[in-house]
Structure 1
Amino acid sequence: MNPKQRTIKSEVSVSGVGLHTGAQVTLTFKPAPENYGYKFKRTDLPGEPIIEADVDNVTDTSRSTTISQNGASVSTTEHVLAALVGCEIDNVLIELNGIEVPILDGSAIEFVKALESVGCKEQQAEREYYYIPHNINYSEEDRNVEMVAMPHQDDYRFTCMVDYNSPVLGSQHATITSIGDFKEHIASSRTFVFLHELEMLLKHNLIKGGDINNAIVIVDHEVEEAELRELAKAFKREEIKVAKEGVLNNIELRYQNEPARHKLLDMIGDLALIGVPLKGHIMAARPGHAANVAFAKKIKAAIKKDKRKKSINVYDPATKPLYDVTKIMSILPHRPPFLFIDKIIELTKTYVVGVKNVTMNEYFFEGHFPGAPVFPGVIQIEAMAQTGGILVLSTVPDPENYLTYFLKIDKVRFRAQVNPGDSLVFRCDLIEPMRRGIAQMKGVGMIGETIVVEAEMMAQITKVKES
């Protein structure tokens, strides 16, 4: 049995400046229900849009990871997401009154402290892990980036190597054998920047919130006294010098391999955008935000592929259906020739499986490619919608007194033809719990093990008015 999902006991806030904008911003963690995941809310924008922490929403990885959705963006998400993963918290709403997550000291430790100050509580639902089933590889030959996710059933393990051909930084390694080690060994590792990068950013006014106290500055060239005086002036310090470790003396290193540890921290935060807690061993050489996101997309694609395999419903025509067509007509108001579901073979609180037997005597084949009959795509969607309607109407005790109206159908894809003689099996799963009679579903239509159609649907049930 998996451990229970967790959220925080009460809300808690942290405040600071955004690294690039320099604007003061307050971030508030709020408890969230089961299966909510991580979502950001921009409270400073009209309508307070929500941005899901999803790798498909990533829009920029140039200096940090930015996600965008519903006309809004949040940047520098990696440190706060790493803190949530490291604290093994599953469901949280993160409210922000600005575009950037505050940089704080350049690590994740202040977020960890805030979360621990309010504590966590268990929820009823179990945490559903994705166990890495086989090696998943990603590489970028031009930048010598190598990443691999390997099976490891017991925990979430990381190994990270950085090598920037820098005589100061050299080659560094960092590792944790369990995600439980994050808080003690990784969370306080701060971001780092090479001096030439810092000077470029200052020149282009790109780090308005940058402070010499929230980053390790690695000196990668000879520095004249005049240059040090300019840096001291830019960061409002009396004096800046180069320490014996080859870094500016603004801060002392917390670990000899702090840069490698911070790259590991970033990787944990970026891979949180997969949206599923993982069990496996992640190994990475020379990671960065762009590579992390590409790697996360590859793992997410593997997860989706595995889910499709698991959702395949083997149709046995000899098995007695849960609902035959007579029972279906007692629930749905549709009638021939506009009733497109013949059987319901599975029905739970979260999904339904229905069957449409496609025969040559369907009325539409007379005019729809009669020489090469193909089951029309729009009718496939209608059949899927009727299957989903059974799921929605199963939530009320008197479904015959309700109608199901579809509010939105999105992300429709037709992958293969459906022809006379095929048995088309539809499965509709709730994407999230129903609220106020509104359901959001993911629908998939299959012939055998082949997906032929898929779509996302939103429907609402409405009671029939008495005449």
Structure 2
Amino acid sequence: MVKQKTIKTEISLTGVGLHTGKEVTMTFKPAPINNGFTFVRVDLEGKPVIEADANYVVNTQRGTNLEKLGVKIQTPEHVLAALMGCDLDNIIIELDSSELPIMDGSSKFFVEAIDAVGVLEQEATRNVYVVKEVISYVDETTGSEIIVMPHDQYCVTAMVDFGTKILGTQNATMKCIGDFKAEISDSRTFSFLHELESLLENGLIKGGDLNNAIVYVDKDISSTTMEHLKKAFGKEEITVKPNGILDNLTLHYPNEAARHKLLDVIGDLSLIGTRIQGKIIANKPGHYVNTQFAKKMSKIIKNEQRNYVPTYDLHQEPLMDIHKIMNVLPHRPPFLLIDRIIEMSESHVVGMKNVTMNENFFVGHFPEAPVMPGVLIVEAMAQTGGVLVLSTVPDPENYLTFFMKMDNVKFKQKVLPGDTLIFKCDLITPIRRGICHMQANAYANGKLVAQAELMAQIARKQ
């Protein structure tokens, strides 16, 4: 299981937005576990936070644009691709403007900035969605399509057909995320001359110059257009190279356009919010189809997580039987509410209880229609988590456990005599000073029956 990662220390970059032309300072900051990628607009009152979430995509014209409660983030895809390519999970991105800096039109400078400060491994396990079947999204209007299929790691292929003689059909493949830095990150954004004319007429690409966007000349340049280009890019002369590119840019790769489209796919799909283990094939990708696919994947993953019920072999010898549990927990019958500990790691624990008609609480709790009290299910989950936190001290018999807080408690199903309860507790934050903050779920009969965020502390006996 791979650990989550952030950066060791913060680092800032300054540049201009491609479309707004505004100078922006962007600061990467380390973030806690399970934070994901979040943007903070430090130029606005209250410093509002916008999560890198596909559900906040509001526009995909000339880039991916996010908006939450009226606060906007423009063209984050190259930065997000860099974060993914550097194998990061948790980063706070502070901005003093809405649009991220374009730099040279690729992810290169962001990758170099991250490499300069280094990566820090965190104490929580990375959540990865393993693709088990083919999932696809098709844009019927353009014919663009993205599919993901089962694979042993995350890889991406982009196939593009630009319908022009100057560029034609190109393909690019990233076999694993480790190849991003060397093979994909320095692939720059591009535009065709006919698109450029429209952008200039609409007052866009104010931050563009011939060093951060490759311009493919797919038509004859009129003298009027040439003058517009000179003015827009601040050049006295503009020429077309034999390979059909404006001015003096040299391609990094013959298929740099396809590689940049692949870069965009990686950045846009980071908006899923969960790492993917699967093979992505993107045919004629663009920001619209990319983000629609990301929204679809996000919904599928959330639905599966909501309905996911872990399975365990209850016939195997447990990690801890009732005798070992009583050597750790201070609880005793009738208030000892777990029978076994099935598995445990540094960040999670799984316990079990067989519910029988002989339970003391059934004497008074609906004896004619016995239902296990919800508060006791929460207590059983807390006792399961207590085993985890008490495992961090050498003499657990000398400690007691106390509730500090419970949030988002929900009861989904009734628990009846004859049910086997499974309790799974995952740390939300690392255990510190004997304080355990965890997400606890209880399952029975293949269904989630209860869940809660719990916080408890162990204290030495007086």
Query: Shift of residue 5 of structure 1?
Result: 7.0
Residue aligning to 2:289: 291
Q: Give the aligned residue type for 1:101.
A: L
Instruction: Give distance in 2, aligned partners of 1:395 and 1:161.
Output: 51
Cα distance change on mapping 1:362 and 1:81 into 2, 3 Å:
farther
Correspondences of 1:289-438 after superposition (within 5 Å): 289-296=287-294, 301=300, 305=304, 311-315=310-314, 322-323=321-322, 327=326, 331=330, 341-346=337-342, 347-358=344-355, 361=362, 363-365=364-366, 384=381, 387-388=384-385, 391=388, 402-409=401-408, 412=410, 414=412, 418-435=415-432
Structure 2 runs not aligned, ≥5 long: none
Query: Shift of residue 351 of structure 1?
Result: 2.2
Q: Give the aligned residue type for 2:223.
A: E
**C-alpha distance after superposition, 1:151-171 (max 9, x if no partner):** 444x64332111243444322
Q: Contact (CA 8 Å) 2:139, 2:289: kept in 1 or not?
A: no
Residue aligning to 1:177: 175
Residue aligning to 1:452: 448
Query: Shift of residue 264 of structure 1?
Result: 0.7
Instruction: Give distance in 1, aligned partners of 2:378 and 2:198.
Output: 54
Residue aligning to 1:148: 147
Cα distance change on mapping 1:409 and 1:202 into 2, 3 Å:
farther
Partner of residue 443 from structure 1, selected from 440, 453, 461: 440
Residue aligning to 2:106: 107
Residue aligning to 1:83: 82
Residue aligning to 1:226: 224
Q: Contact (CA 8 Å) 1:6, 1:90: kept in 2 or not?
A: yes
Instruction: Give distance in 1, aligned partners of 2:289 and 2:254.
Output: 25
Instruction: Give distance in 2, aligned partners of 1:202 and 1:5.
Output: 43
After TM superposition, the score normalised by the length of structure 2 is 0.75
3-state SS, counterpart of residue 112 of structure 2? helix
Instruction: Give distance in 2, aligned partners of 1:378 and 1:73.
Output: 43
3-state SS, counterpart of residue 157 of structure 2? strand
Instruction: Give distance in 2, aligned partners of 1:285 and 1:80.
Output: 23
Question: Which range moved further: 32-41 or 142-151?
Answer: 32-41
Q: Contact (CA 8 Å) 1:442, 1:454: kept in 2 or not?
A: no
Instruction: Give distance in 1, aligned partners of 2:295 and 2:205.
Output: 29
Q: Contact (CA 8 Å) 2:4, 2:123: kept in 1 or not?
A: yes
**C-alpha distance after superposition, 1:244-297 (max 9, x if no partner):** 555544745443322211011112223344556655543221122343344446
Q: Give the aligned residue type for 2:453.
A: M
Cα distance change on mapping 1:249 and 1:73 into 2, 3 Å:
same
**C-alpha distance after superposition, 1:60-114 (max 9, x if no partner):** 4514345577996644332123223334456655443333321111111112232
Partner of residue 216 from structure 1, selected from 196, 199, 214: 214
Q: Contact (CA 8 Å) 2:8, 2:120: kept in 1 or not?
A: no
Q: Give the aligned residue type for 1:430.
A: L
Question: Which range moved further: 289-298 or 125-134?
Answer: 125-134
Q: Contact (CA 8 Å) 1:9, 1:120: kept in 2 or not?
A: yes
Q: Contact (CA 8 Å) 1:107, 1:189: kept in 2 or not?
A: yes
Q: Give the aligned residue type for 2:447.
A: I
Cα distance change on mapping 1:386 and 1:281 into 2, 3 Å:
same
Q: Is 1:260 aligned to 2:258, yes or no?
A: yes
Query: Shift of residue 398 of structure 1?
Result: 7.5
Cα distance change on mapping 1:132 and 1:407 into 2, 3 Å:
closer
Cα distance change on mapping 1:166 and 1:407 into 2, 3 Å:
farther
Query: Shift of residue 404 of structure 1?
Result: 0.9
Partner of residue 271 from structure 1, selected from 269, 272, 283: 269
Counting matched residue pairs gives 452
Partner of residue 190 from structure 1, selected from 175, 188, 191: 188
Query: Shift of residue 187 of structure 1?
Result: 1.6
Query: Shift of residue 35 of structure 1?
Result: 7.4
**C-alpha distance after superposition, 1:368-418 (max 9, x if no partner):** xx5xx77677875665456546655666758865531325217x583x554
Instruction: Give distance in 2, aligned partners of 1:245 and 1:15.
Output: 32
3-state SS, counterpart of residue 255 of structure 1? coil
Q: Give the aligned residue type for 2:104.
A: D
Q: Contact (CA 8 Å) 2:157, 2:174: kept in 1 or not?
A: yes
Instruction: Give distance in 1, aligned partners of 2:181 and 2:341.
Output: 48
Instruction: Give distance in 1, aligned partners of 2:138 and 2:258.
Output: 19
Q: Contact (CA 8 Å) 2:54, 2:291: kept in 1 or not?
A: no
3-state SS, counterpart of residue 79 of structure 1? helix
Q: Contact (CA 8 Å) 1:131, 1:152: kept in 2 or not?
A: no
Query: Shift of residue 427 of structure 1?
Result: 1.1
Cα distance change on mapping 1:209 and 1:341 into 2, 3 Å:
farther
Question: Which range moved further: 94-103 or 339-348?
Answer: 339-348
Q: Give the aligned residue type for 1:111.
A: F
3-state SS, counterpart of residue 365 of structure 1? coil
Cα distance change on mapping 1:317 and 1:9 into 2, 3 Å:
closer
Q: Contact (CA 8 Å) 2:54, 2:294: kept in 1 or not?
A: no
Instruction: Give distance in 2, aligned partners of 1:240 and 1:127.
Output: 52
3-state SS, counterpart of residue 226 of structure 1? helix
Instruction: Give distance in 2, aligned partners of 1:282 and 1:30.
Output: 29
Q: Contact (CA 8 Å) 2:377, 2:450: kept in 1 or not?
A: no
Q: Contact (CA 8 Å) 2:133, 2:150: kept in 1 or not?
A: yes
Identity between Structure 1 and Structure 2 (%) = 44
Instruction: Give distance in 1, aligned partners of 2:71 and 2:339.
Output: 43
Q: Contact (CA 8 Å) 2:338, 2:384: kept in 1 or not?
A: no
Instruction: Give distance in 2, aligned partners of 1:332 and 1:348.
Output: 22
Cα distance change on mapping 1:203 and 1:323 into 2, 3 Å:
farther
Q: Give the aligned residue type for 2:285.
A: P
Q: Contact (CA 8 Å) 1:340, 1:356: kept in 2 or not?
A: no
Q: Is 1:22 aligned to 2:18, yes or no?
A: no
Residue aligning to 2:161: 163
